[in-house]
Amino acid sequence: MRYLITGANRGIGLEFVKQLVANGDTIFATARNREAATELNELAKTGQVFPIELDVTDVDSVAQAREVVGAKTDAIDVLINNAGAFFDRNEKLATFNPDAMRKTFETNTIGTMNVTKAFADLLNAGNNPRLVNISSNLGSLTTLGRNRSGDYSYNASKAALNMLTRMLSYDLPDVTVICVHPGWVQTDMGGSRAAITPEASVEGLLGLIGRLTPADTNSFFGWTGEDWAW
Ligand SMILES: NC(=O)c1ccc[n+]([C@@H]2O[C@H](COP(=O)([O-])OP(=O)(O)OC[C@H]3O[C@@H](n4cnc5c(N)ncnc54)[C@H](OP(=O)(O)O)[C@@H]3O)[C@@H](O)[C@H]2O)c1
- Domains defined along the chain, listed by start: 2-222 (3.40.50.720)
Does the beta carbon of 189 lie inside 6 Å of ligand 1? yes
Atom of ligand 1 nearest to the CA of 135: 7
Sign of the alpha-carbon dihedral angle for 210, 67, 57, 47: positive
User: Which pLDDT belongs to residue 32?
Assistant: 98
What's the average model confidence in pLDDT over 196-207?
A: 98
Rounded to an integer, the average pLDDT of 168-185 is 98
Catalytic residues: 154, 158
What pLDDT, on the 0 to 100 scale, is given for residue 89?
86
Burial class (CB in 10 A: 0-12, 13-18, 19+), 118: buried
Global confidence as pTM = 0.98
What pLDDT was estimated at residue 90?
87
Question: Tens of pLDDT along 61-72?
Answer: 999 999 999 999
Half-sphere exposure of 194 (CA within 13 A, CB side): 19
Is 113 strand, coil or helix?
A: helix
146 pLDDT band (50/70/90 cuts)? Answer: low
Q: Say if ligand 1 is within 6 A of residue 115 CB.
A: no
pLDDT in tens, 9-57: 999 999 999 999 999 999 999 999 999 999 999 999 999 999 999 999 9
Binned at pLDDT 50, 70 and 90, residue 147 comes out as: low
- pLDDT of residue 145 exceeding 70, the answer is no
Q: pLDDT-derived band of residue 201, with 50, 70 and 90 as boundaries?
A: very high
Confidence of residue 88 (pLDDT cuts 50, 70, 90): confident
Q: Is the CB of 55 under 6 A from ligand 1?
A: yes
> What is the residue with the minimal CA distance to atom 33 of ligand 1?
55
The answer to whether 5 touches 18, Cβ cutoff 8 Å, is: no
What's the one-letter identity of residue 125? A
Q: Average pLDDT over the chain, rounded to whole?
A: 96
Determine if ligand 1 sits within 6 Å of the CB of residue 59.
no
Distance, CA 6 to ligand 1 centroid (Å)? 9
For ligand 1, atom 29, the nearest C-alpha belongs to 83
Residue 4 near ligand 1, beta carbon < 6 Å: no
